[in-house]
Amino acid sequence: MTNENAIENLDKIITKIEFSRLQVNNQKIVQLVAISKYSTAEDIKKLYESGQRAFGENKVQDLKTKQEQLEDLPIAWHFVGTLQKNKINNLIDLNPILMHSLDSLELAEELDKKLKIKNKKMNCLLQINSAYEDTKSGVNPENAVNLYEEIQEKYTNINLKGVMSIGAHTDNNEKVIESFQVTKKIFDKCKGSTICSMGMSNDFETAILHGASMVRVGSALFK
C-alpha cells in the first residue's frame, strides 16, 4: 500500500461514515477502528500518517509485536479477537484502550481476577451473538442485559463501556439489519453504556444507520 493509497482509502471510508452518520443524527459521533490484523506495521504507519489513530488486532501476540514495532507512535490500540484464558495476563500487560470481545461470564470472572492481581482495570465491550450463529462468539441476546448488569456489579476491575456484535453472515440485507437492531436494543437497555460497536468493511454503513457509534473496518482500508 502506497501513501497515496492510504490517504485515498481513509478518505473514502470517512466520507461514507459521515454520509451515513448525517442521515441518523448530525450530533452523533462515529469512531473508526482500523482492523490491522492482516497488515504490516509499515501499512499501519501509513494510515496513521494519513490521520487514523485507532487500530485493532485480534491476536494478543500480533498486538504485542505491532505495539513494539510502532512504539514511537501514540496509537490507540484495540483488541477485537477471541481472548483465550491463557492469554489474559499477556493482554493486560499490553494495556489496550478497549477490549471488544468479552463474550462470557466465565471470561469476565477470570479477567477480573487477573486484573485485580495486577492492580489494573480494563475497558471492555460485551460481545453479543445477535444473529445466533454457531460460528460466532458472544452471549445470547436474551441474556445480554442481565449479564451486563451482573458484570458491572461483580467485576469491579472491568469497566464495561458498551456492546459489540458482528452482523449476520448472509447476503440477505434484512437479516443483517435485524442483527444490528437486536444489538442496538440491548445497548439502549444497558445502563451507562456509551459504545455500540458494530459494522465491518461490508456492512458498516448499514450498521451506522441502525445505531453503531463505532465501526471496525479492515480490508477496505488496507488495500
**pLDDT of the residue at 53:** 97
The pLDDT confidence band at residue 1, using thresholds 50, 70 and 90, is confident
Average pLDDT of the segment spanning 99-124: 98
Residue 15 makes CB contacts below 8 A (sequence gap 6+) with none
Phi-psi region of 119 (alpha: psi -120 to 50; beta: other; left: phi over 0): left
Residue 223: pLDDT above 90? no
The reported pLDDT for the residue numbered 201 is 93
Residues 6+ away with beta carbon under 8 Å from 196: 162, 163, 183, 184, 187, 211, 212, 213, 214
Instruction: Return the C-alpha torsion angle 93, 99, 104, 105, nearest 10.
Output: 60
How remote is the C-alpha of 210 from its chain's centroid? 16
pLDDT above 90 covers a percentage of the chain that reads: 87
CATH of span 3-217: 3.20.20.10
Q: State pLDDT tens for residues 171-211.
A: 899 999 999 999 999 999 999 999 999 999 999 999 999 99
Whether the predicted pLDDT of 27 surpasses 80: no
For range 117-128, the mean pLDDT: 98
CB atoms within 10 A of CB 72: 7
Output the average pLDDT for the chain.
Answer: 95
- Looking at the chain, list the stretches that DSSP marks H as alpha helix, in order from N- to C-terminal side: 3-24, 41-49, 60-69, 88-94, 105-117, 141-154, 173-189, 204-209
How far is Cα 188 from Cα 124, in angstroms, rounded to an integer? 17
b/e sequence 162-195, b meaning 16+ C-beta within 10 Å: bbbbbbbeeeeeeebbebbebbbebbeebeebeb
Looking at residue 2, its pLDDT comes to 87
Structure confidence by residue, pLDDT tens digits, 153-174: 999 999 999 999 998 888 899 9
